[in-house]
């Protein structure tokens, strides 16, 4: 089953001269049921905004979102909102500090009538079990937990409503390295167990490579490349993707090239360049790039692999090293 999304989304930021910040500017995205789609990009690319539009936290200014065969209205009803839930990046500000875990979960279960009243308690315990937290956690406040534990509570909260789609917005970025593994492994097992579909928003490419089936790369409000994970890493076709991947530091100690992966800073999102928005930092930009905004197209790539570049795939500077499975 598919969730096709065609959305032109923009957020208005009023400044002195009514500049418009197009946080998400013409995004077409599809998420298949049961898959983990990675949405990567650097700060300001619009990935968090896109995630929030999907779950209904923001109303898009244009475009449509189709979910399970139906177009979603601008104002969603409770039943619809239930089906898409979100886990946020900051475990310290996304839980109500004045409510115990039990109170947080109970409120959700009751408001949405997920289970009959007398079963609410049992369901709370089940949810905590699911995320690997003990029963004692039920009557604790968020401040009594570590970052990793809070994230697990956030996941339990998101799952309480039995959603079809989970939007995880940088769920492990604020956690220590050894704790990240716990949360990632948890998401992986839950996805198998519950048949979850996950939109995994991240900026850490190594994490994405481990966790996602497909990846979409965003830059300044647009998707610039989409592919199955192994294809993206083996054959990045957009110059930004190539730059992004080669900028990632590797665990294997060794000589690093002195050339920077991507030069300069991204342009201001209120002042996007004409034509291709990446051209000001692109090593292979030509005249046409300033005139014509490239669309996401497959060109001669493998099925499912699209890039928005007039010269997609050309002038390779060297492939990203192949991943070796350690099975």
Partner 1 sequence: MSEPLLEVRDLSVDIVLSRGTIHAVDGVSFALEAGAAMGLVGESGCGKSMTLRGILGLLPRTGRITGGQVLFEGKDLVKGGQRGLREVRGGGISIIFQEPMTALNPVMRVGDQIAEGPRHHLGWSRSQSRARALELMRMVGIPDPERRMRAYPHELSGGLRQRVMIAIALSSEPKLILCDEPTTALDVTIQDQILKLLLGLRRDLGVAIVFVTHDLAVIAQTCETLAVMYAGRVVETGRVEQMFREPHHPYTLGLLRSVPDFDAVRDSLEAIPGMPPDLASTFSACRFAPRCQFAQDDCLAGEVDLHEIDGGRTVACLHDDACAAAASADPVIARV
Tell me how far, at minimum, the Cβ of 272 lies from partner 1, in Å.
16
Work out the number of other CB atoms within 10 angstroms of the CB of residue 210. 13
Q: Which is nearer to partner 1, 124 or 172 (CB)?
A: 172
Distance (Å) of CA 190 to CA 35, 127, 162, 167, 242: 12, 11, 12, 14, 32
User: Is 92 within 8 Å of 175 (Cβ atoms)?
Assistant: no
Tell me how far, at minimum, the Cβ of 177 lies from partner 1, in Å.
6
Residue with tokens 């099925």: 303
Query: For residue 206, what is the enclosing H or E element?
Result: helix 205-211
Query: For residue 187, what is the enclosing H or E element?
Result: helix 177-194
Number of residues binding to partner 1, judged by CB under 8 A: 46
Q: Which is nearer to partner 1, 48 or 106 (CB)?
A: 48
Task: Check residue 270 for interaction with partner 1 (CB under 8 A).
Answer: no
Tell me how far, at minimum, the Cβ of 147 lies from partner 1, in Å.
8
Q: Which is nearer to partner 1, 183 or 296 (CB)?
A: 183
What residues numbered 231-260 form the site for partner 1, per CB under 8 A?
Answer: 243-244, 246-254, 256, 258-260
Question: Please, how many CA atoms are within 13 Å of residue 236, restricted to the half-sphere of its CB?
Answer: 21
Work out the number of other CB atoms within 10 angstroms of the CB of residue 128. 21
Candidate segments 82-90, 155-163, 191-199, 200-208, binder of partner 1 by CB under 8 A: 200-208
Task: Check residue 207 for interaction with partner 1 (CB under 8 A).
Answer: yes
Task: Check residue 188 for interaction with partner 1 (CB under 8 A).
Answer: yes
For residues 239 and 307, give the distance between their C-alpha atoms in angstroms, rounded to a whole number: 10
Gyration radius from the chain CA atoms: 21
Q: Which is nearer to partner 1, 5 or 174 (CB)?
A: 174
For residues 135 and 131, give the distance between their C-alpha atoms in angstroms, rounded to a whole number: 11
Task: Check residue 42 for interaction with partner 1 (CB under 8 A).
Answer: yes
Q: Which is nearer to partner 1, 248 or 288 (CB)?
A: 248
Residue with tokens 């190594």: 206
Query: For residue 261, what is the enclosing H or E element?
Result: none
Tell me how far, at minimum, the Cβ of 262 lies from partner 1, in Å.
4
Work out the number of other CB atoms within 10 angstroms of the CB of residue 99. 14
Tell me how far, at minimum, the Cβ of 205 lies from partner 1, in Å.
6
Task: Check residue 182 for interaction with partner 1 (CB under 8 A).
Answer: yes
Tell me how far, at minimum, the Cβ of 122 lies from partner 1, in Å.
27
Binding site for partner 1 (CB under 8 A): 42-43, 146, 176-182, 184-185, 188, 203-207, 209-210, 243-244, 246-254, 256, 258-265, 321, 323-327
């Amino acid at each position: 089953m598919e969730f096709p999304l065609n959305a032109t989304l923009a957020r208005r930021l009023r400044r002195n001269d009514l500049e418009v910040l197009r946080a998400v500017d013409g995004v077409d995205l599809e998420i298949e049921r049961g898959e983990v789609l990675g949405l990567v990009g650097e700060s300001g690319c619009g990935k968090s905004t896109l995630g929030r539009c999907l779950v209904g936290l923001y109303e898009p200014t244009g475009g449509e979102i189709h979910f399970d065969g139906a177009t979603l209205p601008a104002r969603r009803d409770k039943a619809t909102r239930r089906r898409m839930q979100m886990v946020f990046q900051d475990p310290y500000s996304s839980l109500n500090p004045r409510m115990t875990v039990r109170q947080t979960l109970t409120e959700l279960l009751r408001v949405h009538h997920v289970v009959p009243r007398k079963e609410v308690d049992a369901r709370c315990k089940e949810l905590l079990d699911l995320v690997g937290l003990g029963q004692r956690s039920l009557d604790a406040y968020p401040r009594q937990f570590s970052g990793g534990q809070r994230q697990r509570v956030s996941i339990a909260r998101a799952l309480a409503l039995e959603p079809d789609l989970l939007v995880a917005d940088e769920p492990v970025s604020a956690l220590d390295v050894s704790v990240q593994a716990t949360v990632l492994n948890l998401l992986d097992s839950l996805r198998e167990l519950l048949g979850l579909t996950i939109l995994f928003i991240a900026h850490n490419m190594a994490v994405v490579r481990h966790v996602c089936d497909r990846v979409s790369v965003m830059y300044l409000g647009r998707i610039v490349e989409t592919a199955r994970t192994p294809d993206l890493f083996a054959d990045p076709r957009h110059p930004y993707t190539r730059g992004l991947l080669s900028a990632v530091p590797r665990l294997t100690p060794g000589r690093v090239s002195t050339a920077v992966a991507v030069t300069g800073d991204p342009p201001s999102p209120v002042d996007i360049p004409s034509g291709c928005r990446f051209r000001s930092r692109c090593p292979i930009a030509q005249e046409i790039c300033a005139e014509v905004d490239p669309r996401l197209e497959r060109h001669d790539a493998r099925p499912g692999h699209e890039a928005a570049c007039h010269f997609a795939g050309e002038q390779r500077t060297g492939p990203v090293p192949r991943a070796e499975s350690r099975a």
